[in-house]
């Protein structure tokens, strides 16, 4: 029996390897661990800096509304009542509607897709500097939400090039661009408000933070490979190594990633796992989405800082979170676990919001801001968890569309729970955010338990297949 199983395993491996060799016309053996590490490093240096930079600038473009608010936007264009809060809501309306555009990374050539996206949101962001009234800003925020939603699907693209046990760290690097953008966005906002000019500071803010992104649109056209085979920076042998890695324990379109497999895409909508991750993302975003818009105001209302100083003081908490995202994403890949990290940091964030809801002193409230922002670390781990939950590229695209659509509905709540009438302590928003952080912690624990049970069933099924003289590729859920 053991010999039969061994021959079956070798036959499956030979079939896989034969497919790779046929694609590239080479007969080299499977890659060594040293080759894999070398190719991973090469992919990292080629793909991740640009992916990170574009996302960082896109988040800066969406969150600079908070700095513009502090710099005099409201008075300049005549905002009143809750109109400032609703501007954040309008952005997320189209951001939610266009989450299905994540499949564009699978359906269209990546270099053309990303160039169109970056060119669009850079132009729209800079155009906010010319706004004269509330209606004009509403239109631009709607358009900005639509175009930035398209780039949010980049985790699907990353999964084309990295194996399951390496994708978390890279997707963490991608998402950390948001934390860093909010960090230097606060410092940049502070610096720009010090500029003496006949142009209002908030208009200069939109121009300085929007126009440089146009340069990246041109670079992106030549920089992003569409798939493994079209990656000119890889040798034929290196392409074979990548194909071997991404096909390990999952189904990958190793030859050409362009073209959506509709059956697999819709299979994600029938999978209950897609919705549990979406619920967790919703909870994270209720808590997190409001922070870039309201942290400067919360800090300013503490009582010890001016509104200008508040922009600068909003940077350190995001900088710490940026560092933690990188570290925790790396550890999550090393131990091949997601749920415990999501649960832990959502609990830490809950403590932060609890401090904001129950204290009045400057020190505990500023500490609360630090802790509350760590909910973003849970988001950074949730994204690769979605990738690890679906075993084909098209199903991952569908799963990510569900995940993002559910999750991005969170900001519709989050951007409206800190009304100006709740100043200076914003108790209601803090308590609501506290509750949703706890929801994320509990749901992640339940999801981990359920996936553990699913893996036990898969182990038993594979054992039964081996006893029957059959061996199929091994797929297991990452807990």
Q: Which residue has the higher pLDDT, 13 or 467?
A: 467
Question: Quick one: average pLDDT of 342-347?
Answer: 97
Q: How many CB atoms lie within 10 A of CB 379?
A: 24
Q: Which two tokens stand for residue 474?
A: 């091994």
Measured distance CA(69)–CA(292) in Å, rounded: 11
Quote the pLDDT of residue 97.
86
Quote the pLDDT of residue 397.
79
Give yes or no for residue 5 having a pLDDT over 60.
Answer: no
Q: Which residue has the higher pLDDT, 185 or 218?
A: 218
Backbone torsions φ then ψ of 336, nearest 5 degrees: 55, 50
Give yes or no for residue 335 having a pLDDT over 70.
Answer: yes
Domain spans in the chain, listed from the N-terminal domain onward: 26-467
pTM: 0.77
Quote the pLDDT of residue 379.
92
- For every residue of the chain, which 3-state class applies, written as one string? CHHHHHHHHHHHHHHHHHHHHHHHCCCCCCCCHHHHHHHHHHHHHHHHHHHHHHHHHHHHHHHHHHHHHHCCHHHHHCCCCCHHHHHHHHHHHHHHHHHHHHHHHHHCCHHHHHHHHHHHHHHHHHHHHHCCCHHHHHHHHHHHHHHHHHHCCHHHHHCCCCCCCCHHHHHHHHHHHHHHHHHHHHHHHHHHCCCCCCCCHHHHHHHHHHCCHHHHHHHHHHHCCCCCCCCCCCCHHHHHHHHHHHCCCCECCCCCCCCCCHHHHHHHHHCHHHHHHHHHHHHHHHHHCCHHHHHHHHHHCCCCCCHHHHHHHCHHHHHHHHHHHHHHHHHHHHHCCCHHHHHHHHHHHHHHHHHHHHCCCHHHHHHHHHHHCCHHHHHHHHHHHHHHHCCEHHHHHHHHHHHHHHHHCHHHHHCCCCCHHHCCCCHHHHHHHHHHHHHHHHHHHHHHHHHHHHHHHHHHHHHHHHHCCCCCCCCCCCC
- What Rg, from alpha-carbon coordinates, does the chain have? 23
pLDDT digits (tens, 9 = 90+) for 27-78: 567 888 899 999 999 999 999 999 999 999 888 888 788 778 878 888 899 9
Q: Lowest-confidence range among 177-181, 194-198, 257-261?
A: 257-261
pLDDT digits (tens, 9 = 90+) for 76-115: 999 888 888 788 778 888 988 888 787 788 788 999 999 9
Residue 16: pLDDT band (50, 70, 90) is very low
The domain covering 26-467 belongs, at the CATH homologous superfamily level, to MFS general substrate transporter like domains (1.20.1250.20)
> How much is the mean pLDDT over the chain?
83
Measured distance CA(211)–CA(85) in Å, rounded: 25
Give yes or no for residue 136 having a pLDDT over 80.
Answer: yes
Question: Quick one: average pLDDT of 205-224?
Answer: 88
**What residues are paired with 251 via a beta bridge?**
392
Quote the pLDDT of residue 258.
52
Give yes or no for residue 24 having a pLDDT over 70.
Answer: no
> Are the C-beta atoms of 40 and 162 separated by less than 8 Å?
yes
Quote the pLDDT of residue 259.
59
**What residues are paired with 392 via a beta bridge?**
251
Highest average pLDDT, of 222-231, 315-324, 334-343, 426-435, comes from: 334-343
């Amino acid at each position: 029996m053991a010999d039969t199983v061994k021959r079956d395993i070798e036959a499956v491996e030979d079939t896989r390897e034969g497919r790779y060799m046929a694609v590239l016309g080479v007969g080299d053996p499977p890659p060594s661990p040293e080759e894999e590490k070398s190719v991973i490093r090469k992919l990292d240096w080629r793909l991740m800096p640009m992916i990170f930079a574009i996302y960082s600038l896109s988040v800066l473009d969406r969150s600079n509304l908070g700095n513009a608010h502090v710099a005099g936007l409201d008075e300049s264009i005549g905002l009143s009542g809750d109109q400032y809060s609703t501007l954040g809501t309008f952005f997320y309306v189209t951001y939610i509607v266009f989450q299905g555009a994540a499949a564009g990374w699978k359906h269209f050539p990546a270099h053309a897709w990303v160039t169109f996206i970056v060119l669009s949101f850079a132009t729209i962001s800079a155009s906010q500097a010319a706004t004269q009234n509330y209606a004009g800003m509403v239109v631009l925020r709607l358009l900005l939400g639509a175009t930035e939603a398209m780039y949010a699907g980049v985790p699907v693209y990353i999964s084309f090039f990295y194996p399951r046990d390496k994708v978390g760290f890279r997707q963490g690097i991608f998402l950390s661009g948001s934390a860093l953008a909010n960090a230097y966005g606060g410092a940049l906002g502070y610096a720009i408000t010090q500029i003496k000019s006949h142009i209002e500071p908030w208009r200069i803010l939109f121009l300085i933070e929007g126009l440089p992104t146009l340069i990246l649109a041109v670079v992106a056209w030549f920089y992003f490979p569409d798939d493994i085979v079209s990656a000119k920076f890889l040798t034929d042998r290196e392409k074979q190594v990548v194909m071997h890695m991404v096909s390990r324990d999952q189904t990958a379109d190793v030859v050409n990633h362009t073209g959506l497999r509709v059956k697999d895409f819709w299979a994600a909508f029938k999978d209950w796992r897609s919705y549990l991750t979406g619920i967790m993302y919703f909870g994270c975003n209720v808590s997190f989405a409001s922070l870039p818009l309201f942290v400067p105001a919360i800090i300013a209302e503490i009582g010890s800082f001016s509104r200008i100083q508040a922009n600068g003081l909003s940077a350190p908490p995001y900088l710490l979170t940026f560092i933690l995202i990188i570290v925790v994403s790396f550890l999550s890949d090393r131990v091949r676990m997601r749920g415990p990290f999501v649960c832990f940091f959502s609990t830490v964030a809950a403590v932060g919001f609890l401090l904001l809801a129950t204290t009045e002193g400057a020190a505990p409230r500023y500490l609360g801001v630090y802790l509350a922002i760590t909910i973003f670390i849970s988001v950074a781990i949730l994204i690769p968890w979605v990738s690890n939950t679906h075993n084909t590229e098209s199903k991952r695209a569908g799963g990510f569309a569900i995940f993002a659509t559910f999750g991005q509905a969170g900001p519709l709540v989050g951007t409206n729970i800190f009304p100006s009438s709740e100043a200076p302590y914003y108790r209601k928003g803090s308590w609501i955010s506290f509750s949703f952080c706890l929801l994320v912690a509990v749901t992640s624990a339940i999801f981990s338990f359920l996936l553990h049970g699913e893996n036990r069933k898969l182990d038993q099924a594979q054992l039964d297949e081996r006893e029957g003289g059959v061996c199929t590729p091994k797929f297991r859920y990452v807990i």
